[in-house]
Copies of this chain bind each other. A is one copy, B any other.
């Protein structure tokens, strides 16, 4: 019989997968996880062979992945740190085998299967599962997590943008007709571990470049969960010469003037019970270094003297709150454990 507190991890070979392994191996409330790798990594018997950093932390046994193997392992929950195509295929099988799934890919992030197919140029996910999947952003959807069978772990950029903009959109203060800008900057681990020309050290070091303008796959997550129409927002992404972290600078015009106190209060009330949010006092701004290697999302802002133009800065670690940390936060809520357990 399966143990609900026992977890399996599939595909922990990339940066987010490694981060997830580190977090789960240290988590105080769950047993040591089992790691499942693809056939091509069948020679790997312990995760420390792939990640020498992990040596000395205890065992991290690896097995070859199959749905049957995971189902037979006694795990009640499985994390998928696998490519989109792969998650598309295995999620239904794992659910059928009675497992709960936290999927770090993009496959089940959209309620409308067509959205995924359009932006990812891949087949549509099953309609019923796309509709059932909970978008795993606990600050907005915590109440849906305890009962969830399938959680789609959000993208890193959308996490930072949605957490920065959602309270403002909900407030009704924004002059939406003026448009909103989200200018996002990410470290290179967000681009994955696969060697590519544009990720060579020499191409990223001492450089900055914008990419994916008007075509980034994270766009529909942003519009779906902020509630801003696509034509009213411009969302851009830049590659920073740092390993970890996302800083999003967001620009909003107010219809009527507001005070800094009102803005700060808006965020504090909205995120009152959310332990992973840190709201900065008016006039102070978070920086990448404040959140690197943490699961926090920090939000600060600057308001112009007329109270009409607002700049919001949202920071997080793309591998932490933007991926693996958030997956663990989702797991905690799914299991009824305190949200920030193992994440401080």
Contacts and interface: CB of A to CB of B under 8 A. Distances in A.
Interface of A: 15, 26, 52-53, 55-57, 177-179, 181, 183, 185, 187-189, 193, 195-197, 199-211, 213-214, 231, 234, 236, 238, 240-245, 247, 249, 251, 253, 275-276, 278, 280, 284-294, 296, 302-306, 308-309, 311, 313, 344
Contacts of A286: 52
B344 A207 contact: no
Contact of A205 (B188, B304, B313): B188
Q: Top 8 nearest A-B pairs by Cβ distance? A: A213-B302, A209-B287, A201-B204, A195-B195, A183-B183, A188-B201, A207-B289, A208-B288
Given A209-B288, A240-B240, A344-B57, A231 B201 contact: no
Contacts of A311: 210, 213-214, 234, 236
Contact of A193 (B179, B202, B240, B289): B202
B56 A205 contact: no
Given A206-B243, A209-B285, 12 more contacts: A53-B290, A53-B291, A56-B275, A56-B276, A57-B344, A177-B178, A183-B183, A205-B242, A208-B247, A208-B288, A210-B247, A211-B285
A104 to B, nearest CB: 18
Contacts of A305: 214
Nearest to A206: B242
24 contacts: A52-B280, A53-B289, A53-B291, A56-B275, A56-B344, A177-B178, A181-B251, A183-B183, A193-B202, A195-B199, A201-B204, A201-B241, A202-B243, A205-B242, A205-B243, A206-B243, A208-B245, A208-B287, A210-B247, A210-B249, A213-B311, A214-B304, A234-B311, A241-B241
Contacts of A293: 293
Contacts of A202: 15, 188-189, 193, 199, 243
A205 B201 contact: yes
B242 A208 contact: yes
Given A207-B287, A251-B234, A197 B195 contact: yes
Contacts of A55: 278, 290, 296
Given A193-B202, A205-B242, A290-B52, A178 B181 contact: no
Contacts of A302: 210, 213-214
A200 B208 contact: no
